[in-house]
């Protein structure tokens, strides 16, 4: 990797939850990534009525790690720390979850946000109004979206990962190299060969020769070239190759049409049948 390019590192992970089944799937991904990157994991719940006291209803850390075979059944909080991760739980009393989450991220920045999203309207299911994409976009934070009713690449039961096929939409703007770096970092930590990475040239063809594609044993790089609506091409490629993860750079919304329809990333998210990792252009 180019020494002038910052590495893909994760020290802090933020996971908003509504305690739903969909959020449980996202929680498994957040916990697994915290283990892999030895990161601090903050779990936050926003409720307009319940006093911010007690955490009995939060996702269970030690029982989950015991189920994954990483801790004994009678473990202590200190045993969790020995695994290299730190856990914070935050309960906020607020009527506006979006503002509460954004306030938290302003005072406690994160490297990665992991959350479930209701994809049919691009809404976060647990609030029934737009939250997931706007928070990611406005806070300019790397975000792993786990669409509703999708199992993802981390097993809730075992903690094992299935991250063998990745799709990377590439373009001239925003630059695609950070998405390639992120995908490479994830599979280096989570996957065993063989791994297949497919580049989809969405929109104006980019010069792949300008991109640094890590060459490792068991990794294969493929390219697809499409014309027309890039969202349709990306979703079609994702379905054709049955990918485990889509990784893409996003520039947010910068036109009236995109404000009405959503950015390319947001539109892909609404039709994707696998998790999507979005890398905001501001971080590039």
Q: Are residues 26 and 138 in the same domain?
A: yes
pLDDT at position 132: 61
* Distance (Å, whole) CA 201 – CA 230: 8
| Any domain includes 104 | yes
> Which residue range(s) make up the domain with 106?
12-147
Q: Are residues 173 and 97 in the same domain?
A: no
Q: What does the DSSP 8-state code read for residue 154?
A: B
| Any domain includes 4 | no
| Any domain includes 179 | yes
CATH code for the domain in which residue 140 is found: 3.40.50.620
Q: Are residues 136 and 209 in the same domain?
A: no
Q: Are residues 62 and 136 in the same domain?
A: yes
Q: Are residues 86 and 199 in the same domain?
A: no
* Distance (Å, whole) CA 176 – CA 222: 15
| Any domain includes 175 | yes
| Total tally of structural domains belonging to the chain | 2
Q: Are residues 190 and 216 in the same domain?
A: yes
Specify the 3-state DSSP secondary structure of 178.
Answer: helix
| Any domain includes 189 | yes
* Distance (Å, whole) CA 245 – CA 183: 9
pLDDT at position 125: 38
Q: Are residues 101 and 42 in the same domain?
A: yes
Compute the residue count for the chain.
284
Q: Are residues 22 and 111 in the same domain?
A: yes
pLDDT at position 206: 58
From first to last of the 284 residues of the chain, give the pLDDT tens digit: 454 566 678 999 999 998 888 899 999 999 999 999 999 999 999 888 776 667 888 999 999 999 999 999 888 889 999 999 999 999 888 888 888 888 899 999 999 999 888 654 433 333 434 566 667 666 678 999 998 888 999 999 999 999 999 999 987 777 889 899 999 999 999 988 999 999 998 656 556 778 899 999 999 999 988 777 888 888 988 988 999 999 998 876 544 444 444 677 878 888 889 999 998 876 54
pLDDT at position 117: 82
Percentages helix, strand, coil for the chain, rounded to the nearest 5?
35, 25, 40
Q: Please give the model's pTM, rounded to 2 decimal places.
A: 0.87
| Any domain includes 158 | no
Q: Are residues 184 and 249 in the same domain?
A: yes
pLDDT at position 255: 45
| Any domain includes 5 | no
Residue 166 · residue 258 · CB < 8 Å: no
């Amino acid at each position: 990797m180019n020494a002038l390019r910052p590495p893909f590192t994760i020290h802090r992970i933020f996971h908003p939850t509504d305690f739903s089944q969909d959020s449980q799937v996202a929680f498994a991904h957040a916990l697994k990534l915290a283990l892999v990157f030895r990161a601090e994991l903050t779990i936050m719940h926003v409720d307009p009525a319940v006093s911010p006291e007690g955490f009995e209803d939060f996702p269970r850390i030690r029982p989950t790690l015991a189920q994954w075979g990483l801790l004994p059944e009678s473990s202590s909080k200190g045993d969790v720390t020995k695994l290299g991760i730190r856990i914070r739980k935050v309960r906020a009393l607020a009527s506006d979850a979006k503002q509460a989450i954004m306030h938290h991220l302003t005072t406690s920045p994160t490297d990665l946000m992991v959350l479930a999203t209701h994809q049919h309207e691009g809404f976060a299911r647990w609030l029934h109004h737009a939250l997931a994409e706007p928070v990611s976009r406005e806070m300019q934070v790397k975000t792993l979206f786990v669409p509703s009713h999708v199992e993802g690449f981390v097993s809730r039961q075992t903690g094992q990962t299935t991250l063998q096929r990745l799709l990377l939409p590439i373009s001239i703007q925003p630059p695609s190299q950070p998405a390639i770096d992120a995908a490479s970092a994830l599979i280096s930590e989570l996957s065993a060969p063989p791994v297949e990475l497919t580049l989809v040239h969405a929109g104006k063809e980019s010069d792949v020769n300008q991109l640094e594609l890590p060459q490792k044993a068991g990794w294969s790089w493929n390219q697809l070239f499409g014309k027309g609506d890039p969202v349709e091409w990306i979703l079609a490629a994702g379905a054709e190759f049955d990918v485990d993860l889509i990784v893409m750079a996003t520039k947010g919304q910068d036109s009236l049409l995109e404000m009405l329809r959503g950015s390319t990333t947001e539109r892909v998210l609404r039709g994707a049948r696998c998790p999507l990792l979005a890398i905001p252009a501001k971080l590039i």
